[in-house]
Amino acid sequence: MSDKNSKSLKFRVKNGARTALDRPSAFFLIDAVNRLASAAGRSLGRLSNSRTSCSESGRVVILAPPGGGNIGDQALVESAIWNADGPVTLIVRARTDFELPEWLASRDLRMLVLPDLVYGVGPHHLRDMYMLGRYATECSRVMIVGADIMDGNYNLVASLNRWSVANLFGRLPISTSVLGFSWSESARPSCVRAARTVGTRCDLWLRDPVSLSRIAAVGVGGANLCADIVFAHPAPSLPASFRVVPEHLEEFIAANPRYVVVNMSGLVGGDDRLLGHYVRVVEQLRVAGIGVILLPHVVRSTNSDNVYLQELAARFDDPGITLVHELLTPSQIFEVCRLGLAVLTGRMHLAVLASLSGTPSSTLSTQGKVAGLYEHLRSPEGAIEVHSDVSVAFLSRIELAQNGTGRIDDELRRRLKELAMKSFAMPPLRLDTPEPVDSFRERAL
């Protein structure tokens, strides 16, 4: 077979697979197979526990987002662990996906590496579902970090597998929550079906009012409103030693006390028109005597921010502009944002960390998830559409920041933290059983 025919065949197979996975029935097929593998693991886990007196129970299982070079995912995981009530088992793809900070050292925390649980298919995926079943006997609660990875628009297989994990535990029953997630107006049909099914057994927490209205519009009942769980991150109250920034950045801030943090997302960095807007913004900031910190938020082999930030930095030869090459911790990001005038970003969780610090932000909307954040922040103009006049919108926000307006006040930050904490609360107990309530509809009984 020629290379051309081979590529054509692969394309048709992939296109057929996408079409099949989009069908609402796809979730039920995937979930049925996953349940069989998990049930086999649970049976062995119960047998193993019956033969030993040293088995443990009561652990909180947290299914992590991808991680691996994403500060937003790191902040989500840190917040989830910090706010979990009890010993934690963190399920990851690889041990290197997350670097746990020293301030979490006192927590009873284990990592369970299941590389193909979420992103895999076939035998390796089923092996991990089997292993997950074995650990089910130890857990009292499951929390799935939902973020922006539940509606199928990033990776459909991964979204369906996450919904299936939620359904597995919700059926046991074990108190199961999908923590603070977005919902697109173009969610994939199979994920819509999954959400409708899982919502009858698990707690679904939408992290903004726009997402809540969207998921209700497609017939998912019982979902609740919270805020992004990074608003419950402990960075504001951590000892200052955990927020110390690298020396070169500390020196830059000392020399440029009035500065703006600028991020360019690798998701849209290849757009020359956007690069032109960023160049105009940086030029205007420097004319005004404002320093510029070019800050990556995601550094990976693909869609990496630093590739495009380097291209932006190469347009200037100015000591008032600095490019941060390394990934900072969420607590360091909080500190950099706290001291700045404003944050201009293509990554939503950089805006969340900025808001947590009180600093105003503007974010390019690339996945339909930003508008809801700025509804929470009571500043809808902070969400900027990619195809709009980006530089004008960015510069108008900076002008507000220079005038001392636009900062996130203490009362709003307190309210957002309270909303974020709602998703960590245990559901109430039924009067006739010690088991948690499994669906919102049962709470009315």
pLDDT digits (tens, 9 = 90+) for 374-423: 999 999 999 998 888 999 989 988 888 887 777 899 999 999 999 999 99
Confidence of residue 184 (pLDDT cuts 50, 70, 90): very high
Give the pLDDT band (50/70/90) at residue 214.
Answer: very high
Q: Which residues of 118-143 are buried (b: 16+ CB within 10 A; e: fewer)?
A: bebeeeebbbbbbbbbbbbbbbbbbb
In DSSP terms, which residues pair with 59 in a beta bridge?
Answer: 139
Between 407 and 438, where is the model more confident? 407
Flag the least confident range among 46-60, 88-102, 247-261, 294-308.
46-60
pLDDT at 57 over 70: no
Instruction: Tell me the average pLDDT across 10-22.
Output: 65
Query: Where do the structural domains in the chain lie, given as residue ranges?
Result: 20-226, 235-419
Cα separation, 394 vs 377, in Å, equals 17
- pLDDT, residue 340, reads 95
Span 78-90, mean pLDDT? 95
Residue 182 pLDDT exceeds 50? yes
Q: For residues 145-163, give the mean pLDDT.
A: 95
Please give the pLDDT value at position 367. 67
Check if the beta carbon of residue 360 is closer than 8 Å to that of residue 379: yes
Q: How far apart are CA 33 and CA 42, in angstroms?
A: 14
Give CA torsion, residues 240, 241, 245, 246, to 10 deg.
160
pLDDT tens-place string over residues 297-310 = 998 877 789 889 99
- Options 1.10.630.10, 1.10.490.10, 3.90.110.10, 3.40.50.2000; CATH for 235-419 is 3.40.50.2000
- Measured between alpha carbons, how far is 228 from 148 in angstroms, rounded to an integer? 10
- Looking at the whole model, is its pTM more than 0.75? yes
Asked if domains 20-226 and 235-419 share a fold, the reply is: yes
**What is the model's pLDDT at position 404?**
72
Report the pLDDT value the prediction gives residue 46, as an integer from 0 to 100.
63
DSSP codes of every residue in 391-429 = HHHHHHHHHHHHTT-----HHHHHHHHHHHHHTTSPPPB
Higher pLDDT, 104 or 222: 104
Mean pLDDT for the stretch of residues 4-27: 67
Domain 20-226 -> CATH class: alpha beta
**Locus of tokens 């296109």:** 15
Residues 6 or more apart in contact with residue 131 via CB below 8 angstroms = 41, 112, 114
Indicate if the pLDDT at residue 151 is higher than 70: yes
Averaged pLDDT, 242-259: 97
pLDDT band at 362; cut points 50, 70, 90: very high
- pLDDT, tens only, 309-348: 999 999 999 999 999 999 999 999 999 999 999 999 999 9
The answer to whether residues 346 and 328 touch, using CB atoms and an 8 Å cutoff, is no
User: Cβ neighbours of residue 224 under 8 Å, at least 6 residues apart?
Assistant: 203, 204, 205, 206, 212, 422, 423, 440
Q: How high is the mean pLDDT of the chain?
A: 88
